[in-house]
Amino acid sequence: MARSLLLLPLLLASCTNEVTYERLNLDEDCLTVILAPEGDDDDSAGDDDDSAIEGSADQQTIDLRSQPGFFDRDVIGAATVTPTRGPAVDTRFFLSVVMTDTGMATGNPVDATDRVSVIVDNGSVSLTEFDLDRSPADPARWAMELGTGGDAAVTERTDLLCVALYAEIE
C-alpha cells in the first residue's frame, strides 16, 4: 500500500510536463497583407494602396528584432510574405522566417529559437496563432502557408501577420 501511494505523486508529476515559452522578439514584428474584392486591379491608375506595404506588391520582408538583453545584436532574423495582396478566396500567402546564424556556441538565435508562430490580426476576428514548421534541412529556416477567408465579391481588409519567436523555458 505504501508503494502505491509513493507512485501516485510520481505519475502525476510526469503528466504535467506542459512546455513554457518566452518571447524572444518584439511584438511589432509584423507583415501586412491586403485582401481586396476579386477582380480589383491593384495596379489601376489612381490606385494608391500600394503605399501601405513596404516592398513590392509581390513580396514584403521585415527584420525581426530581439527583445532587449537576449542577444548581442538587435536584428536576429528576417520574415518574408509573398504575395502581399489578393482576393479573399483562393489566395495562399507563403510566410518564411530565416534566423540569423551568428556561428556562436551560446547566444545564437538559430539555437535559441524553439518555436516560431504567426499571430494573425485582421481586426474583425479574435487573434489566431499558428505555428510555422522548421525546415528539416536547415534549422535556421521556418515556413508555412496561410489561406484567406471572406466573401470574394466584397471583402476588403488589411491583415497583420505578426511573427513571434520563442525559446523553451525549462
In tens, the pLDDT along 21-53 reads: 999 999 999 999 998 887 655 443 334 444 444
In a domain, 5, yes or no: no
Number of structural domains in the chain:
1
In a domain, 7, yes or no: no
**Other CB atoms within 10 Å distance of the CB of residue 44:** 7
Q: Return the amino acid letter for 68.
A: P
Q: How far apart are CA 54 and CA 51, in angstroms?
A: 7
R_g (Cα) of the chain, nearest Å = 21
Identify which has the larger pLDDT, 6 or 109: 109
CB distance 132 to 142 below 8 Å:
yes
In a domain, 1, yes or no: no
Q: Return the amino acid letter for 11.
A: L
Range of the domain at 118: 19-169
Report percent pLDDT > 90 for the chain: 55
In a domain, 117, yes or no: yes
In a domain, 11, yes or no: no
Nearest to 144 by CA among 97, 74, 102: 97
In a domain, 130, yes or no: yes
**Tens digits of per-residue pLDDT, 138-155?**
999 999 999 887 777 888
**Tens digits of per-residue pLDDT, 79-102?**
999 999 998 888 899 999 999 999
pTM of the model: 0.79
